[in-house]
């Protein structure tokens, strides 16, 4: 249960003075649905309204606050015209313009003459110093009413700064003081204020310096955010390791049989990784391991060998994939590999329903079925195993920490193997994974030829299509990716659909298939199957193929609007080709003109085939949130902290979280109880509950 002290922060937004049902809807648009969200919606910037003693045209355009002498007023000559208030700033003539009707009383009060304080954005208009619709115009004796500095919030249409400011103040006035979760020594050393003080100050900046990221107030709030996240990570790890692991040590028979049926041998790196994993499983320690390998490095086979090691002991293993397509592909290729050995593999997605699903459940429950491949559907509470010993999560950045916790809860002491093709820069790895063990697949299967990458303007698309035609005629296949880029998914789908129709008309009806996220699953499968079987040569897709599909005969990858992708994503897409022995190509189509940074990014991709290097470059150029792809990244979206900039705060929060949980594993001390409040405050409910239930 949420601690009572936080109740005022989690009541409906309409409980805040100034928020009605209508504006609550607008707040929702910017991600604000309770007073807590307002408190964490910090000003993005601010406006300095200190009075300029000598305003000069050099300051324009810009916000200017000045004492002025009003000298007169010109009414518009026709309806809808401009009102002008004439002024002198010292001896410089100036004016205020209004493009809408202004009331009689306003004119009487402000336009007749006298000394005023005006503040707002000004510019030179026809050579005259001009404020159009200033934010403030008040008589000199009321000048104190104009704040010298005002915060500016991220807003949305219909929600003005005035509303945001007053609502923030109202929310703050109901914000409780919370017990301190930060180590008192650290608090003193950094001179950080209390949490309540920090949010108060953060919303009432008095200068731009107060809004700087290295300001102590912001720093404290960034620390809180990262500290909560690190606590969750450490808890997740503790939870998975708290009960002793179980030694899972197969006799190797299924593994040797599987290898004997393969047409190739394991690469050195695969062999090493399989050893690391099976040794880890054989120990009585619980495994928490990340398998990191560039796209095409052969992670699936490593996963299969690990699963077989479990099956050899009579235990069960599950492989989780982020999409239906990928799950089915894994199930299919694993089945092909294991059928000769007489080992069954089941599949469970949200589509598997009815009698077949019931039968599958029984086989899992009885332990008759040893190996399962599935999607999120496996998380459901109704899915129970007789003896789940290993859970593998493919493309794991698509799953959050909490989902991993849920999976681990399905067995006695489930060993976890997380697989990722996104080589993750160190700073990110630390945030996301805490201190997991890592196996690195740093060698690609032999015989691969590097993929040639070309950066081409969309204007030359027809040439690219000709190229496709030739490749198709030679029996090769191609992907054509139409990204989801605009705000509206529908527009994007329409674009993909149009491209599909065009390619079909040029290359032949049967040759082209379309797959997109909104498609009913059976149609999606049918299209994928046509492509996998080679019946269709071109697969047009929105980014759903980004992860994992494996069609070795595909040699061309075309990505439209490549400038909108992150480098790591493009590298992933490119990794879909170059899997066979034939020369492969990646064509990055951009919409010209390509910005300088776009040129640099796509150029980097053309030059480098090193996923790790690309991820580092990406992080530098785009920032952490984007490196792993937006919402699906599973990476926490920090509101205040910035992973690159706040690296030292991150490291600090990490070691503090560990120390606290070593000293006070159940968070029972005063500081520990405060930390639980922090977890709730930061909406890490699940980890707060883990602590509560042990
Ligand atoms: P990823 O690491 O991207 O998941 P996959 O597991 O899909 O890579 O493997 C990519 C391709 O390489 C597959 O077609 C797979 O059959 C093949 N492959 C995997 N291991 C080897 C190997 N040791 N030798 C040759 N081909 C391999
Ligand atoms: Mg894969």
Span from the CA of 394 to the centroid of ligand 2 (angstroms):
7
Q: Which percentage of the chain shows pLDDT scores above 70?
A: 90
pLDDT at 86: 95
Lowest mean pLDDT: which of 322-336, 416-430, 442-456? 416-430
Q: Which H helix or E strand runs over 463?
A: helix 461-473
CA distance readout (Å), 592 to 128, 356, 358, 459, 595 = 39, 51, 54, 8, 8
What is d(CA 684, CA 230) in angstroms, rounded to the nearest whole number?
11
Q: Determine the residue of 445, 449, 532 to mutate for testing ligand 1's pocket, defined as the one with the most ligand atoms within 8 A of the Cβ atom.
A: 445
Lowest mean pLDDT: which of 456-470, 525-539, 564-578, 584-598? 564-578
Indicate which residue's Cα is closest to atom 5 of ligand 1: 298
Name the residue ranges covered by the structural domains of the chain: 50-146, 253-441, 452-608
CATH T-level fold of 452-608: Rossmann fold (3.40.50)
Indicate which residue's Cα is closest to atom 20 of ligand 1: 298
pLDDT at 519 over 90: no
Neighbours of ion ligand 2 (CB under 5 A): 548
Indicate which residue's Cα is closest to atom 15 of ligand 1: 298
Answer yes or no: are the C-beta atoms of 85 and 110 closer than 8 Å: yes
Span from the CA of 313 to the centroid of ligand 2 (angstroms):
26
pLDDT at 317 over 90: yes
Q: Determine the residue of 296, 303, 325 to mutate for testing ligand 1's pocket, defined as the one with the most ligand atoms within 8 A of the Cβ atom.
A: 296
pLDDT at 357: 94
* Bridge partners for 372 per DSSP: 318, 346
Among 213, 68, 217, 82, CA closest to 646? 213
Largest CA distance in the chain: 98
Ligand nearest to the Cα of 575, by number: 1
Query: Domain 253-441 is in which class?
Result: alpha beta
pLDDT at 273 over 60: yes
Span from the CA of 299 to the centroid of ligand 2 (angstroms):
6
Span from the CA of 286 to the centroid of ligand 1 (angstroms):
27
Average pLDDT over residues 202-214: 89
pLDDT at 379: 84
Average pLDDT over residues 377-386: 89
Average pLDDT over residues 447-463: 91
Give the pair of three-digit tokens for residue 486.
Answer: 């605009």
Pocket of ligand 1 (CB under 6 A): 264, 266-267, 270, 293, 295-301, 421, 445, 550, 552, 579
Span from the CA of 566 to the centroid of ligand 1 (angstroms):
24
pLDDT at 427: 57
Answer CATH for 50-146 from 2.40.50.140, 3.40.309.10, 3.40.190.10, 3.40.50.20: 2.40.50.140
pLDDT at 686 over 80: no
pLDDT at 121 over 80: yes
Tell me which residue has tokens 């991709």. Answer: 605
pLDDT at 396: 65
Indicate which residue's Cα is closest to atom 24 of ligand 1: 445
* pLDDT digits 0-9 by tens, 616-655: 777 666 554 444 443 333 455 678 887 667 778 888 998 8
pLDDT band at 488 (very low <50, low <70, confident <90, very high): low
Q: Which H helix or E strand runs over 586?
A: strand 585-590
What is d(CA 395, CA 100) in angstroms, rounded to the nearest whole number?
56
Span from the CA of 544 to the centroid of ligand 1 (angstroms):
20
Between helix 299-312 and helix 324-338 the angle, nearest 10°, is 60
Indicate which residue's Cα is closest to atom 19 of ligand 1: 298
* pLDDT digits 0-9 by tens, 243-260: 567 889 999 999 999 999
Average pLDDT over residues 576-589: 89
Closest atom of ligand 1 to CA, residue 333: 16
Q: Are strands 371-374 and 345-348 parallel, antiparallel or unpaired?
A: parallel
Indicate which residue's Cα is closest to atom 18 of ligand 1: 298
Lowest mean pLDDT: which of 215-219, 285-289, 362-366, 373-377? 285-289
Indicate if the alpha-carbon torsion angle 399, 400, 406, 411 is positive or negative: positive
Ligand nearest to the Cα of 291, by number: 1
Q: Which of 476 and 213 is assigned the larger pLDDT?
A: 476
Q: Which of 322 and 274 is assigned the larger pLDDT?
A: 274
Closest atom of ligand 1 to CA, residue 294: 2
How far is residue 328 CA from its own chain's centroid? 25
pLDDT at 557: 95
Closest atom of ligand 1 to CA, residue 267: 23
Ligand nearest to the Cα of 303, by number: 1
The average confidence (pLDDT) of the chain is: 87
Same fold, 253-441 and 452-608: yes
CB within 8 A of 80, min separation 6: which ones? none
pLDDT at 548 over 70: no
Answer yes or no: are the C-beta atoms of 241 and 661 closer than 8 Å: no
Q: Determine the residue of 266, 301, 305, 574 to mutate for testing ligand 1's pocket, defined as the one with the most ligand atoms within 8 A of the Cβ atom.
A: 301
Answer yes or no: are the C-beta atoms of 413 and 330 closer than 8 Å: no
Q: Which percentage of the chain shows pLDDT scores above 90?
A: 53
pLDDT at 301: 96
Average pLDDT over residues 427-439: 67
pLDDT at 627: 42
Average pLDDT over residues 488-497: 77
* pLDDT digits 0-9 by tens, 651-672: 899 889 989 999 998 899 999 9
Span from the CA of 301 to the centroid of ligand 1 (angstroms):
7
Answer yes or no: are the C-beta atoms of 140 and 115 closer than 8 Å: yes
* pLDDT digits 0-9 by tens, 70-105: 999 998 888 778 899 999 998 999 999 998 888 888
Ligand nearest to the Cα of 293, by number: 1
pLDDT at 637: 62
Span from the CA of 251 to the centroid of ligand 2 (angstroms):
27
Span from the CA of 667 to the centroid of ligand 1 (angstroms):
45
* pLDDT digits 0-9 by tens, 341-381: 999 999 999 888 899 999 999 999 999 999 999 998 998 88
Indicate which residue's Cα is closest to atom 26 of ligand 1: 445
* pLDDT digits 0-9 by tens, 165-189: 999 999 999 999 999 999 999 999 9
pLDDT at 2 over 60: yes
């Amino acid at each position: 249960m949420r601690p009572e002290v936080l109740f005022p922060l989690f009541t409906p937004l309409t409980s805040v003075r100034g928020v009605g049902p209508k504006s609550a809807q607008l707040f929702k648009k910017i991600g604000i649905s309770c007073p807590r969200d307002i408190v964490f919606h910090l000003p993005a910037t601010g406006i300095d309204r200190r009075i300029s003693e000598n305003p000069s045209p050099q300051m324009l355009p810009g916000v200017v606050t000045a004492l002025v002498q009003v000298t007169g007023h010109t009414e518009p000559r026709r309806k809808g015209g401009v009102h002008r208030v004439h002024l002198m700033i010292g001896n410089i003539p100036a004016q205020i313009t209004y493009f809408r009707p202004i009331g009689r009383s306003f004119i009487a009060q402000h336009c007749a003459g006298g000394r005023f304080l005006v503040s707002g954005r000004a510019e030179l208009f026809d050579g005259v110093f001009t404020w159009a619709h200033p934010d403030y115009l008040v008589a000199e004796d009321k000048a104190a009413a104009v704040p010298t500095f005002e915060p500016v919030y991220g807003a949305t249409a219909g929600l003005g700064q005035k509303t945001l400011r007053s609502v923030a103040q109202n929310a703050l006035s109901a914000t409780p003081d919370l017990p301190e979760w930060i180590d008192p020594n650290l608090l003193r050393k950094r001179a950080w204020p209390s949490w309540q003080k920090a949010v108060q100050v953060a919303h009432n900046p008095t200068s731009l310096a107060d809004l700087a990221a290295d300001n102590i107030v912001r720093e404290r709030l960034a620390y809180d955010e990262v500290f909560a996240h690190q606590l969750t990570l450490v808890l997740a790890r503790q939870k998975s390791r708290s009960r002793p692991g179980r030694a899972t040590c197969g006799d190797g028979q299924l593994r040797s049989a599987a290898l004997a049926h393969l047409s190739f041998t394991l690469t050195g790196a695969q062999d090493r990784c399989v050893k690391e994993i099976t040794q880890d499983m054989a120990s009585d320690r619980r495994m928490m391991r990340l398998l990191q390998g560039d796209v095409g490095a052969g992670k699936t086979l490593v996963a299969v060998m690990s699963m077989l090691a479990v099956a050899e002991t009579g235990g069960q293993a599950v492989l989780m994939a982020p999409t239906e397509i990928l799950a089915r592909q894994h199930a299919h290729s694993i089945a092909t590999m294991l059928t000769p050995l007489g080992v069954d593999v089941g599949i469970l997605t949200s589509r598997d329903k009815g009698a077949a699903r019931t039968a599958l459940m029984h086989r899992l429950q009885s332990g008759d079925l040893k190996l399962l491949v599935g999607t999120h559907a496996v998380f459901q509470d109704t899915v129970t195993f007789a003896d789940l010993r290993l859970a593998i999560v493919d493309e794991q950045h698509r799953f959050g920490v909490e989902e991993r916790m849920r999976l681990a809860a399905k067995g006695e002491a489930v060993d976890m193997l997380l697989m990722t093709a996104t080589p993750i820069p160190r700073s990110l790895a630390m945030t996301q994974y805490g201190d997991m063990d890592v196996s690195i697949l740093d060698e690609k299967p032999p015989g691969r030829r590097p993929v040639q990458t070309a950066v081409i303007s969309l204007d030359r698309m027809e040439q690219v299509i000709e190229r496709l035609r030739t490749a198709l005629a030679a029996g090769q296949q191609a992907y054509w990716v139409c990204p989801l880029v605009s705000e509206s998914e529908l527009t994007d789908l329409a674009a993909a659909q149009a491209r599909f129709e065009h390619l079909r008309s040029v290359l032949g009806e049967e040759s082209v298939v379309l797959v997109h996220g909104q498609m009913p699953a059976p149609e999606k499968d049918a299209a994928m199957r046509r492509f996998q079987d080679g019946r269709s040569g071109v697969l047009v897709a929105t980014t759903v193929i980004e992860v994992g599909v494996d069609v070795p005969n595909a040699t061309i990858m075309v990505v439209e609007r490549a400038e909108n992708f992150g480098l790591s994503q493009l590298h992933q897409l490119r990794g879909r080709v170059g899997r066979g022995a034939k020369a492969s190509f990646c064509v990055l189509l951009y919409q010209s003109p390509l910005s300088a940074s776009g040129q640099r990014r796509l150029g980097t991709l053309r030059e480098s085939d090193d996923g790790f290097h690309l991820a580092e470059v990406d992080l530098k150029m785009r920032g952490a949130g984007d490196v792993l792809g937006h919402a699906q990244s599973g990476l926490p979206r920090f509101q205040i902290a910035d992973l690159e900039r706040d690296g030292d705060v991150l490291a600090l929060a990490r070691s503090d979280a560990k120390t606290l949980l070593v000293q006070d594993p159940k968070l029972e001390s005063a500081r520990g109880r405060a930390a639980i409040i922090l977890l709730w405050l930061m909406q890490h409910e699940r980890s707060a509950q883990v602590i509560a239930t042990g």
